[in-house]
Amino acid sequence: MKIIKPKKLKKGDVIGVISPASSPSDLEKIEKGVKYLESLGYRVEVGNNVGKIHGYLAGTDEERLEDLHSMFKNKNVKAIFNVRGGYGSGRLLDKINFGLIKRNPKIFVGYSDITALQLAFLKKTGLVTFAGPMVAVDFSQDKVDPFMEENFWKIITTSKKIGKLNNPNEERFYTLTKGRGEGKLVGGNLALLISLMGTDYQPDFKDSVLLIEDIGEDPYRVDRMFYQLKYAKVFNKVKGIILGRFVDCYIKDKSQPSLSLNDVIADYLADLKVPVIYNVKHGHIKENLTIPWGLKTKVNTSRCFIEITESAVT
């Protein structure tokens, strides 16, 4: 699949806001996020169905899909930002008009449950999307994290090569295996990635660099997801592995015997013949490094760097 890059965002452009997964418990967070975007000089158009609640979903499948399609159809909208993750994006995949998205490539931003949409877009259209800040999560804070903010806006507003990724405060990456690898960057939230395995929306792992993160999964659940990747021969196909943050993925009940998260990671990844790098500030954290899916990426664990060798936007 040929990669399609969206056009860079300029001040005064319209940002569309949609909620394809869950609604925030406090709808004022959406307003705060919108005000933040407007304060930077962007215009904002909120989807007609944003703020609706249907059980654990932000409206029915039809309502959430309608907002997704209408934002891609709308010629005035130059970027689409998601309200939050939660649950529900994966329910839309078999109803999406991928031809519409391919004909109208736009900046598309989110993470967590939004991973399902991003991987499906990449597989079906080649569109580069961004695992980055969300309106009612990261942009609704009283103080938006400066590291996340600077990194994010730089990636979507300039057509220069992204170059080497860096953690905040020059915090270093760590390596589990030695080596060098290069491939297209794929991945996202591990649980969502696993949910797409064996479907038409599963990424092409051949010659890729896999980046994964997660939240709230006990070590045994991470273990189960890793053995699925192993048995699907994903680890044999990739050119490198990047581990983002695994937040709250520790043993909750200390009275029960358990492997640690580090034990699980070492069991599956320590003997691989590809570079594995970890402690990358990406995931469910404030200092979230924005990751563009689909771009050529180098991983060098001998010299401990990750480099995206092209721009994400045109």
pLDDT tens-place string over residues 29-74: 999 999 999 999 999 999 999 999 999 999 999 999 999 999 999 9
Identify the CATH class of 163-308: alpha beta
pLDDT range class, residue 286, cuts 50, 70, 90: very high
* CB-count exposure of residue 131 (10 Å: 0-12, 13-18, 19+): buried
Average pLDDT, the chain: 97
Active site residue 54: no
pLDDT range class, residue 251, cuts 50, 70, 90: confident
Q: What is the pLDDT of residues 260-271, one digit of tens each?
A: 999 999 999 999
> How confident is the model at residue 253, as a pLDDT?
82
> How confident is the model at residue 115, as a pLDDT?
98
Does 179 score more than 90 pLDDT? yes
Does 256 score more than 90 pLDDT? no
> How confident is the model at residue 254, as a pLDDT?
82
pLDDT range class, residue 1, cuts 50, 70, 90: confident
78 neighbors 12 (Cβ within 8 angstroms): no
> How confident is the model at residue 52, as a pLDDT?
97
Average pLDDT over every residue of 203-223: 97
HEC per residue, the chain: CCCECCCCCCCCCEEEEECCCCCCCCCHHHHHHHHHHHHCCCEEEECCCCCCCECCECCCHHHHHHHHHHHHHCCCEEEEEECCCCCCHHHHHHHCCHHHHHHCCCEEEECHHHHHHHHHHHHHHCECEEECCCCCCCCCCCCCCHHHHHHHHHHHHCCCCCEECCCHHHCCCEEEECCEEEEEEEEEEHHHHHHCCCCCCCCCCCCEEEEEEEECCCHHHHHHHHHHHHHCCHHHHCCEEEEEEEECCCCCCCCCCCCCHHHHHHHHHCCCCCCEEECCCCCCCCCCCCEEECCEEEEECCCCEEEECCCCCC
Q: Where are the domains of the chain?
A: 14-144, 163-308
Q: Which position among 213, 217, 282, 311 bears the catalytic label? A: 213
> How confident is the model at residue 3, as a pLDDT?
97
Least confident of 126-130, 152-156, 166-170, 274-278: 166-170
**What is the Cα–Cα distance from 223 to 264, expressed in whole angstroms?**
6
> How confident is the model at residue 252, as a pLDDT?
83
> How confident is the model at residue 241, as a pLDDT?
98
Q: Is the CATH number 3.40.50.12160 carried by domain 14-144?
A: no
Active site residue 213: yes
> How confident is the model at residue 239, as a pLDDT?
98
Q: State what percent of residues in the chain have pLDDT above 90.
A: 97
Q: What is the pLDDT of residues 147-173, one digit of tens each?
A: 999 999 999 999 999 999 999 998 999
- Among 39, 292, 263, 26, CA closest to 160: 292
Average pLDDT over every residue of 199-213: 98
Q: Which position among 149, 208, 282, 284 bears the catalytic label? A: 284
**What is the Cα–Cα distance from 241 to 181, expressed in whole angstroms?**
9
Active site residue 112: yes
Q: Which position among 19, 89, 112, 311 bears the catalytic label? A: 112
Q: What is the pLDDT of residues 70-88, one digit of tens each?
A: 999 999 999 999 999 999 9
**What is the Cα–Cα distance from 118 to 128, expressed in whole angstroms?**
8
